[in-house]
Chain A
């Protein structure tokens, strides 16, 4: 099943790269076959790596999950062909060498050695401290990108690392560990305080403060609101799933505390960051000819020229695509700022059409459900494993939804990468490690079932 799917994906990859190459050459008035070997090398190489990974899964007798990996492969191919079309060989080799290969290697290692999940769980505290350290280091020494966000840490001659990406995984691991511990403790405690509020709710409060503080810290240090949004979503959903509360009172309490802490942080910096102010203005009407306002003062730039510009470009790219798309190489997705990373969905819809665009969203939905599936099979006692799956699933989903929403003006634009599609080595590496974790958990669960 997985093998057949991979063969089909292989064909798809070759056709996609062939037509992308042909389209780009024809657009320049050249023979469509020009430069074909260079165009077919990346898909062939990547498909070989996929095949190796597939045989590894077979050798490890991972039988119950035949869909997750092919879906990831298909998304990777769509992403790679768009990156190749938008960024040429330089972009695609960066993506393959810095993200895809190391990511699959790490995933293979985790699947082969599922016991590492247990080791990770036991070292959750040092990992959490490491994450905090990374965050602080990036906040102080990180390089500032063109949007003013401090996201990348460059150490010596090594390529820059987008520290905010692994940080999300570290938060998932830490929260899973913490909630699992709290709920274990909850089983032994039955005393009720203040009527229906159970005692472990204090743990919620502590956690709420902690994660809100973490989010706010990264907000201040990194000016990375996409990361804040995703960290927030991960924290809330994991708390929601992990804690057995009888009432919504706890949730409300968490919400209140979190907003309080956020409010405190914002009042320390004394204002809502300018980026958030004008992104909301652009969200209300990207075409508006009114002036973009920061702190109630006009900036002299209209919303349409300023923050609305990328939303307009993304929407028009989507409109230009039509149902079948302009064809690879024939559209003008380069008008969309960051078409190769944050706004890659716009480029996909423009050149491959709404059909493929919807299919990509459908694939992400399938992916999410396949990641959630083992949750129902794992024994209820394995809270850490189950929470890990919730966190990973929600992480992937929020990334996709925030960017799809931003592209379609369904949500205010927040810069995050689209998993498996966007150009970005660290982000892809992180997402592939997450896939490795999911597959490793499935393998552990299979083993458990075998033994039982």
Chain B
């Protein structure tokens, strides 16, 4: 009896210990992913609105909230946070170089042996982004390439981790050309707006500037953030310094959007370059005569030219609202929408692209159904007013598709990744959008863009010695505020060229402010295309502190 009961006890005890072992293995296997360092932050889904009435303070506040919460970190269990930070502070995050080997971002070792991030090129603050105080990617390329910069996607780093050797992240080599970038940044000095410079063949980003900007080295200082947000009290228009106006903005694109209408109309066969538009008798206004297009009782004014009759080429070159309003009025909404969607314009948030930075999808209308029923809206949309909202990056991408015969490459920043061993790996490229238009259409649109600069509204954009094409835009923003000034175009020489999109908030006529800035940058940028590809010197062991 006694013996049997002791046997029972022994059995219960052994089974309990086996159970404990099983639970131990259960925690390790079923929950082993729980400790992986975070790689991705909250989507910062804010946009810069061009309506002065709206208080963008909201957007900035959300943005700041994204910073302080650094990837919902607050919602994670304390042990995960502690252990993640522990790991990340001991990793030397990869440096970031421009295409010429100039160091843009680097990790420096502090006195306590942990690493800190330092940004050498504040003009790239928006595109490159910054890492949070917890050294977890928060924005821009720092975010999209977080795992690479931490080295955690390399097998040899995992071995290092296993052997408790210090981990070194991989370096990034960007397509950015610092002289062009600085030029763009200078052009925006004292203004609000954005400039994007892309390689016309592959969409490589040579420069991306947004103004006003911020200092990524100070972003963790609370007082600095307060200063940045000082104007955002809801009474005055907010500066929105943290927003990347090049890709996160939602500006009315004005006449630059006529390129999209033109592509749709030409490619669907609705018009051809020789189609003649007769605008009828002009109306007398306080600033002289202007033409109008009437649709469903609505009137679209066309003050951009004095000719009564223009062919399609010159209608585009002179930005004739009446011609494009008519095109839009007559165009079936299905056709307009199918071309617009391929080029990135749909319902809010509908069409996005696999970009390396935060991107606010452009929109053609708040609700695409209204384009079927509302002819006036469709006509207004065709001239880039209505409810169309776009970022300079997206407008640049439209030109990219024209220059590449109907294929739109996806803009990219990272051309290659350099591992600490010195091995250089090409970055993975996203496939472009194919078959947007027939090559012939693309050629015709391209010719019309050139005509705009040679004979139309974009003459200020011309650069001696370069083939330049483009489209001006003057986006009415309502009220007494001056319109936003747009120019989107390309400049090329000897098979090399750039696409440049410029927007200056309240900058006035697109044919003036924006076109001059375009010309100034194009002059330098095309020449710079031959430069670069020089890789930064490799520092073995990764211990040098520049």
Using CB atoms and an 8 Å cutoff, list the residues of chain A in contact with chain B. Answer: 23, 26-27, 29, 237, 240-242, 244, 287, 304-305, 309, 312-313, 315-323, 326-327, 330, 332, 335, 349, 354, 357-358, 361-362, 364-365, 368-369, 372, 375-376, 380, 383, 386, 390, 393-394, 397, 400-401, 404-405, 408, 410
Interface residues of B in 60-103 (CB under 8 A from A): 77-80, 82-83, 86
Chain B residue at minimum C-beta to C-beta distance from A380: B2
Chain A residue at minimum C-beta to C-beta distance from B34: A319
Chain A residue at minimum C-beta to C-beta distance from B13: A397
Which residues of chain A are near B35, meaning CB under 8 Å? 316, 319-320
B9 interface residue, CB < 8 Å from A? yes
B186 interface residue, CB < 8 Å from A? no
Select one of A312, A330, A357, A383 contacting B77, CB under 8 A: A312
Q: Which 4 A-B pairs have the closest CB atoms?
A: A316-B79, A404-B20, A408-B23, A358-B21
B227 interface residue, CB < 8 Å from A? no
Knowing A241-B5, A244-B1, say if A354 contacts B17 (CB, 8 Å).
Answer: no
Question: What is the distance, in angstroms, from A28's C-beta to the closest C-beta of chain B?
Answer: 8
Select one of A240, A358, A383, A397 contacting B24, CB under 8 A: A358
Q: Is the CB of A244 within 8 A of B13?
A: no
B3 interface residue, CB < 8 Å from A? yes
Q: Is the CB of B20 within 8 A of A401?
A: yes
Knowing A354-B25, A410-B20, say if A375 contacts B77 (CB, 8 Å).
Answer: no
Which residues of chain A are near B18, meaning CB under 8 Å? 365
- The CB with the most chain A CB atoms within 10 A, among B23, B24, B77, is that of B24
Which residues of chain B are near A304, meaning CB under 8 Å? 77-78
Q: Is the CB of B28 within 8 A of A319?
A: yes
Q: Is the CB of A242 within 8 A of B2?
A: yes
Knowing A319-B28, A408-B27, say if A312 contacts B79 (CB, 8 Å).
Answer: yes
Knowing A318-B27, A332-B86, A408-B24, say if A376 contacts B3 (CB, 8 Å).
Answer: yes
Which residues of chain A are near B1, meaning CB under 8 Å? 244
Chain A residue at minimum C-beta to C-beta distance from B162: A324
Chain B residue at minimum C-beta to C-beta distance from A246: B1
Give Cα A432–Cα B258 distance, bound, in whole angstroms: 89
Knowing A335-B82, A368-B10, say if A361 contacts B17 (CB, 8 Å).
Answer: yes
Q: Is the CB of B20 within 8 A of A408?
A: yes
B6 interface residue, CB < 8 Å from A? yes
Q: Is the CB of A404 within 8 A of B6?
A: no
Give Cα A361–Cα B5 distance, bound, in whole angstroms: 23
A/B interface sample: 16 pairs, CB < 8 A:
A241-B9, A316-B35, A316-B80, A354-B24, A357-B24, A358-B25, A365-B13, A369-B10, A369-B14, A372-B10, A375-B2, A375-B6, A380-B2, A386-B6, A397-B16, A404-B17
Select one of A240, A305, A321, A335 contacting B79, CB under 8 A: A335
Q: Is the CB of B28 within 8 A of A327?
A: no
B19 interface residue, CB < 8 Å from A? yes
Q: Is the CB of B83 within 8 A of A335?
A: yes
Q: Is the CB of B164 within 8 A of A26?
A: yes
Q: Is the CB of B31 within 8 A of A319?
A: yes
Which residues of chain B are near A362, meaning CB under 8 Å? 17, 21
Question: What is the distance, in angstroms, from B13's C-beta to the closest C-beta of chain A?
Answer: 5
Question: What is the distance, in angstroms, from B299's C-beta to the closest C-beta of chain A?
Answer: 58
Give Cα A23–Cα B113 distance, bound, in whole angstroms: 16
B32 interface residue, CB < 8 Å from A? yes
Chain B residue at minimum C-beta to C-beta distance from A405: B20
Select one of A354, A372, A393, A405 contacting B28, CB under 8 A: A354
Give Cα A330–Cα B83 distance, bound, in whole angstroms: 12
Q: Is the CB of B9 within 8 A of A394?
A: yes
Which residues of chain A are near B28, meaning CB under 8 Å? 318-319, 321-323, 354
Q: Is the CB of A287 within 8 A of B32?
A: no
Which residues of chain A are near B79, meaning CB under 8 Å? 312-313, 315-317, 335
Q: Is the CB of B9 within 8 A of A240?
A: yes
Q: Is the CB of A23 within 8 A of B21?
A: no
Q: Is the CB of B6 within 8 A of A372?
A: yes
Q: Is the CB of A365 within 8 A of B14?
A: yes
Give Cα A237–Cα B16 distance, bound, in whole angstroms: 15
Select one of B25, B77, B113 contacting A316, CB under 8 A: B77
Q: Is the CB of B13 within 8 A of A401?
A: yes
Give Cα A72–Cα B17 distance, bound, in whole angstroms: 17
Which residues of chain A are near B13, meaning CB under 8 Å? 365, 368, 393-394, 397, 401
Which residues of chain A are near B19, meaning CB under 8 Å? 410
Chain A residue at minimum C-beta to C-beta distance from B82: A335
Which residues of chain A are near B9, meaning CB under 8 Å? 237, 240-241, 372, 390, 393-394
Which residues of chain B are near A372, meaning CB under 8 Å? 6, 9-10
Which residues of chain A are near B5, meaning CB under 8 Å? 240-241
Give Cα A349–Cα B77 distance, bound, in whole angstroms: 20
Q: Is the CB of A401 within 8 A of B16?
A: yes
Which residues of chain B are near A313, meaning CB under 8 Å? 78-79
- Give me 5 other A-B pairs in contact (C-beta within 8 A), A369-B14, A405-B20, A408-B24 excluded: A317-B79, A319-B32, A376-B3, A400-B17, A410-B19
Give Cα A37–Cα B448 distance, bound, in whole angstroms: 84
Q: Is the CB of A327 within 8 A of B164?
A: yes
Chain A residue at minimum C-beta to C-beta distance from B165: A26
Interface residues of B in 179-236 (CB under 8 A from A): none
Give Cα A160–Cα B78 distance, bound, in whole angstroms: 34
Chain A residue at minimum C-beta to C-beta distance from B10: A372
Interface string of B321-350 (1 = CB under 8 A from A): 000000000000000000000000000000
Which residues of chain A are near B24, meaning CB under 8 Å? 318, 349, 354, 357-358, 361, 404, 408
Give Cα A42–Cα B2 distance, bound, in whole angstroms: 43
Select one of A241, A315, A335 contacting B6, CB under 8 A: A241
Question: What is the distance, in angstroms, from A247's C-beta to the closest C-beta of chain B?
Answer: 13
Question: What is the distance, in angstroms, from B161's C-beta to the closest C-beta of chain A?
Answer: 10
Question: What is the distance, in angstroms, from A229's C-beta to the closest C-beta of chain B?
Answer: 14
Give Cα A322–Cα B83 distance, bound, in whole angstroms: 14
Question: What is the distance, in angstroms, from B109's C-beta to the closest C-beta of chain A?
Answer: 11
Question: What is the distance, in angstroms, from B468's C-beta to the closest C-beta of chain A?
Answer: 58
Question: What is the distance, in angstroms, from A441's C-beta to the closest C-beta of chain B?
Answer: 14
Q: Is the CB of A287 within 8 A of B77?
A: yes
Give Cα A401–Cα B12 distance, bound, in whole angstroms: 11
Q: Is the CB of B6 within 8 A of A390?
A: yes
Which residues of chain A are near B78, meaning CB under 8 Å? 304-305, 309, 312-313
Question: What is the distance, in angstroms, from A115's C-beta to the closest C-beta of chain B?
Answer: 24
Give Cα A393–Cα B10 distance, bound, in whole angstroms: 9
Q: Is the CB of A320 within 8 A of B83?
A: yes
Question: What is the distance, in angstroms, from B198's C-beta to the closest C-beta of chain A?
Answer: 45
Which residues of chain B are near A380, meaning CB under 8 Å? 2
Question: What is the distance, in angstroms, from B83's C-beta to the closest C-beta of chain A?
Answer: 6
Give Cα A242–Cα B3 distance, bound, in whole angstroms: 10
Give Cα A349–Cα B27 distance, bound, in whole angstroms: 12
Give Cα A335–Cα B84 distance, bound, in whole angstroms: 12
Question: What is the distance, in angstroms, from B152's C-beta to the closest C-beta of chain A?
Answer: 16
Give Cα A321–Cα B3 distance, bound, in whole angstroms: 40
Which residues of chain A are near B83, meaning CB under 8 Å? 316, 320, 332, 335
Question: What is the distance, in angstroms, from B477's C-beta to the closest C-beta of chain A?
Answer: 45
Give Cα A358–Cα B86 distance, bound, in whole angstroms: 27
Chain B residue at minimum C-beta to C-beta distance from A390: B6
Chain A residue at minimum C-beta to C-beta distance from B77: A312
Give Cα A446–Cα B287 distance, bound, in whole angstroms: 121
Q: Is the CB of B77 within 8 A of A364?
A: no
Question: What is the distance, in angstroms, from A105's C-beta to the closest C-beta of chain B?
Answer: 29
Question: What is the distance, in angstroms, from A47's C-beta to the closest C-beta of chain B?
Answer: 27
Give Cα A397–Cα B24 distance, bound, in whole angstroms: 17
Question: What is the distance, in angstroms, from A385's C-beta to the closest C-beta of chain B?
Answer: 12
Q: Is the CB of B2 within 8 A of A330?
A: no
